[in-house]
Amino acid sequence: MTTEATATDSIQKDATPSRGVVDRDEGPLPVLSVAPMMQRTDRHFRYFMRLLTRHTLLYTEMVVAKAIVHGNTERLLDFDATEHPVALQIGGDDPETMARAARAGEAAGYDEININVGCPSSRVQDGNFGVCLMGEPERVARLVEAMKGACELPVTVKHRIGFDDRDSYEEMADFVDTVSAAGCSHFTVHARKAWLDGLSPTDNRNVPPIRYQDVYRLQEEFPDLTIELNGHIETIDDIESHLEHVDACMVGRAAYERPYRFAEADARLFGDDHPIPSRAEVARQMADYAERWMSNGGRLQQVTSHLINLYSHRRGAGVWRRHLSEHDHLDESGPELIVEAMRRAEDA
Ligand SMILES: Cc1cc2nc3c(=O)[nH]c(=O)nc-3n(C[C@H](O)[C@H](O)[C@H](O)COP(=O)(O)O)c2cc1C
């Protein structure tokens, strides 16, 4: 049995944490999740994160509902069994298409289906979904109804405080009220508004000010709903302090840029004090994973591109990153590249 298979077994054995879950009617929700991020939270990054934390909920990148229904569904939705608990985020505005996509997500084995009501990109606006749907709470309610009618999974919504000049607390609360009446009981709020014109998606993640108090208030006024806070949460200390006000926290960029920081999540948030794998062990397990991926026709770089921050803010970080990025695209490179980069980083 490989080291990797051993890790997989232990992940499955310890699947139920002793604390750190919110009891919802639809089933338990971990108090920490890693955010959906396009071109980041693909199956390779999620596998990597799962080696660091067994209990954190992992989100896919947003997948457009039409692509799920009309495209290569198996390729788009395939994931590794060790990724559980894993939520599929979908984007779209047509109830029938979203319902079919949700059903496909359930058939593929996901634990939750999430609707993207937060993305401000112009491509998404052209399709009339993402954050502009906050202006149409009734439509989002119809999406939730259709999706809940099509599958047994929790259907959740990720949104923002608002957009453009429609950014009052009251309007957000009306949105949540309307959508929850249709059967959604879990809202993840990116605690800032978006500007639809004039700001790029990157600026929209940095420029509009963070408004944590509005999200705390939402939890206070809707105590029966699960409210998850998102936006510039950097550390487990931050999470612990937000959890005094909201049920759960979602971390995006910090998880990608400082992944090893979240290796402490199982002990500190979920009461599971299994030994934390060293960076070297994680690298070895990712080499085994890359070997399997490549033997099925995948490319090494698809895996290694997500590993570059394993040593971030630590001795060896530059050596690790450089060795991977200078060699991972070469035809002669194989999974042993990851082990060699790890040896160099450890010796630095
Ligand atoms: C590269 C990148 C891609 C993103 N893609 C998505 C996406 O597909 N769906 C979504 O709802 N949010 C997406 N987001 C937004 C994040 O989920 C999150 O709401 C945002 O980054 C704020 O959280 P943070 O400050 O912890 O990063 C993306 C963010 C980044 C940085």
In the prediction, which pLDDT does 212 show? 98
Q: How far apart are CA 151 and CA 112, in angstroms?
A: 10
Q: How far apart are CA 163 and CA 210, in angstroms?
A: 13
Q: How far is the CA of 33 from the centre of ligand 1 (A)?
A: 12
Mean per-residue pLDDT, 21-32:
89
In the prediction, which pLDDT does 10 show? 40
Q: Is the pLDDT of residue 14 over 70?
A: no
Mean per-residue pLDDT, 201-224:
96
In the prediction, which pLDDT does 225 show? 97
Q: How far apart are CA 35 and CA 255, in angstroms?
A: 9
Q: How far is the CA of 36 from the centre of ligand 1 (A)?
A: 6
For ligand 1, mutation pick of 34, 38, 42 (most atoms within 8 Å of CB) = 38
Q: How far is the CA of 201 from the centre of ligand 1 (A)?
A: 9
For ligand 1, mutation pick of 42, 157, 205 (most atoms within 8 Å of CB) = 205
Atom of ligand 1 nearest to the CA of 250: 26
In the prediction, which pLDDT does 136 show? 95
> Mean pLDDT in the chain?
94
The residue whose two tokens read 């779209």 is 92
Mean per-residue pLDDT, 230-238:
98
Q: Where in the chain is the domain with CATH 1.20.120.1460?
A: 279-347
Q: Which CATH class for the 11-270 domain?
A: alpha beta
Atom of ligand 1 nearest to the CA of 190: 19
Q: Where in the chain is the domain with CATH 3.20.20.70?
A: 11-270
Ligand 1 site residues (CB inside 6 A) read 35-38, 40, 61-62, 89, 116, 118-119, 158, 190, 205, 230-233, 251-254
Give the bridge partners for 30, in sequence order. 21
The pLDDT-based confidence of 327 (bands split at 50, 70, 90) is very high
Percentage of the chain beyond pLDDT 90 is 89
Q: How far is the CA of 298 from the centre of ligand 1 (A)?
A: 26
What pLDDT, in 10s, does the model give residues 273-302?
A: 999 999 999 999 999 999 999 999 999 999
What pLDDT, in 10s, does the model give residues 119-174?
A: 988 878 778 889 999 999 999 999 999 999 999 999 999 999 999 999 999 999 99
Which residue numbers are catalytic?
119
Buried b / exposed e over 45-60, threshold 16 CB at 10 Å, is bbbbbbbbbbbbbbbb
Q: Is the pLDDT of residue 7 over 50?
A: no
Q: Left if phi > 0, otherwise alpha if psi is -120 to 50, otherwise beta: which for 154?
A: beta
Q: Whose CA is nearest to atom 18 of ligand 1?
A: 252
Q: How far apart are CA 186 and CA 209, in angstroms?
A: 23
Fold entry, domain 279-347:
Four Helix Bundle (Hemerythrin (Met), subunit A) (1.20.120)
Contacts of 273 (CB under 8 A, 6+ apart): 266, 267
The dihedrals phi and psi of 309, each to the nearest 5 degrees, come to -95, 10
In the prediction, which pLDDT does 9 show? 42
Q: Using an 8 Å Cβ cutoff, are 144 and 184 in contact?
A: yes
Q: Using an 8 Å Cβ cutoff, are 55 and 17 in contact?
A: yes
In the prediction, which pLDDT does 2 show? 31
Mean per-residue pLDDT, 214-220:
98
Mean per-residue pLDDT, 196-219:
94
pTM: 0.95
The pLDDT-based confidence of 197 (bands split at 50, 70, 90) is confident
Q: Using an 8 Å Cβ cutoff, are 214 and 172 in contact?
A: yes
Q: Is the pLDDT of residue 303 over 60?
A: yes
The pLDDT-based confidence of 15 (bands split at 50, 70, 90) is low
